[in-house]
């Protein structure tokens, strides 16, 4: 009479395979969580930039004078002109200078301050820079392109808009190189008459 052996536990191989499958699943879940966080941050940045572009597009529509200047160079230490923005006697040139200064400060996050000496740029998109460019359509219509470029976290297809070209780098902290796939751009075209 031969008796059958009854298995009373798991073999070491079974335990190791289970551990391997569980670990692989947890690593995939962690990667998914990181991607979700990055995508959420990218969406938040894009929503903020879209609001900033729309703000300046409205300023250009309301006062097209002086809208041809590029905003890539802005000194945050230079205060905006002290003017009464509600005054009807303000010249279009002065209003345009004030609008540009306010927009540039907003791009740097300098209008959101913890105190008067705070220059941290709270709430600003990463490395945001504004650009204004013009083109002429048939019939002497002038189109002003209001654009904002900023630094993305992950590579994507490089934008065709030229704002910020050559200014943004890859995510390699050890040896960052210019990588257009990390540049993000949102723009609006405003017809000025």
pLDDT in tens, 114-144: 666 666 666 788 888 888 888 888 777 788 8
Which of 9-18, 58-67, 124-133 shows the lowest per-residue confidence on average (mean pLDDT)? 58-67
Q: Are 24 and 57 in contact (CB under 8 A)?
A: no
**Mean pLDDT score, 46-74:** 78
User: pLDDT tens, 154-171?
Assistant: 888 888 888 888 888 887
The whole-number pLDDT of residue 169 equals 84
Q: What does the pLDDT read at residue 16? A: 92
C-alpha span between 150 and 163 (Å, rounded): 9
Closest CA to 97 of 61, 75, 121, 65: 65
pLDDT, position 40? 92
Q: Cα angle at 174 between 169 and 178, to 5 degrees?
A: 20
* Closest-CA residue to 42 (of 31, 34, 54): 34
> C-alpha dihedral over 82, 87, 89, 93, to 10 degrees?
50
Confidence of residue 191 (pLDDT cuts 50, 70, 90): confident
pLDDT of the residue at 6: 73
pTM over 0.85: no
More confident residue, 13 or 111: 13
């Amino acid at each position: 009479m031969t008796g059958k052996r009854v298995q009373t536990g798991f073999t070491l191989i079974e335990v190791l395979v289970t551990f391997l499958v569980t670990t692989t699943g947890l690593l995939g879940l962690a990667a998914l969580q990181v991607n979700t966080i990055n995508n959420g941050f990218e969406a938040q940045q894009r929503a903020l930039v879209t609001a900033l572009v729309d703000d300046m597009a409205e300023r250009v529509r309301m006062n097209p004078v002086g809208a041809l200047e590029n905003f890539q160079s802005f000194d945050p230490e230079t205060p905006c002109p002290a003017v009464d923005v509600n005054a009807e006697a303000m010249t279009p040139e002065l209003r345009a200078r004030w609008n540009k200064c306010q927009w540039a400060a907003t791009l740097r996050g300098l209008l959101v301050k913890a105190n008067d000496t705070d220059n941290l740029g709270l709430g600003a998109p990463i490395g945001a820079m504004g650009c204004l460019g013009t083109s002429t359509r048939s019939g002497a219509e002038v189109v002003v392109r209001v654009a904002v470029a900023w630094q993305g976290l992950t590579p994507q297809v490089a934008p065709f808009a030229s704002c910020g070209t050559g200014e943004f780098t890859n995510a390699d902290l050890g040896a960052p190189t210019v990588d257009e796939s990390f540049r993000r751009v949102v723009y609006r075209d405003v017809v000025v008459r």
